[in-house]
Amino acid sequence: MGLGNRAQGLPRAVQGCPRLDFAKTPRKSEGLVCFRDIRPGAPHHYLVVPIEHMGNCKTLKKEHIPLVEKMMEAGKNILQRNNFTDLNDIRMGFHWPPFCSISHLHLHVLAPASHLGFLSRMIYRTNSYWFITAEQLIERLQTENTAS
């Protein structure tokens, strides 16, 4: 199944992933692409992906903190463009290896977090072995790099 023009300019690792929804043209901005998750865990569920291929969140270093912050900002922007404004009721984070279904860095943006169903609350559970919030990842990157 080809993705045609909708996937042009996206990383090959992202283009071939059946989990990502290319039904609508993704938004590209400042080296990132943002689109709806094909299996939404919330009424608003987007993925923010760097166009340049990067591994998973466990491979990131301190110098990647600005990228993570930029991904978070893009996630907030896509929510606001889609008329979701309660930024206190969102969850943004990454699946922690080996619990990743995609081998390309991607930020999950879910809203409203208060409307996550039972299964989504488990899959995107904070303080778990398989999911880390963007804020926790930034703290981890800062801590790991100052300890070394």
Give whole-number Cα distances, 29 to 73, 74, 77, 145, in Å.
11, 8, 11, 29
Give whole-number Cα distances, 64 to 10, 30, 42, 52, in Å.
20, 15, 27, 13
CA distance 113 to 20: 21
Active site residue 53: no
Give whole-number Cα distances, 108 to 37, 86, 115, in Å.
8, 17, 15
Which of 44, 95, 104, 106 is flagged as catalytic? 106
Catalytic residues: 106
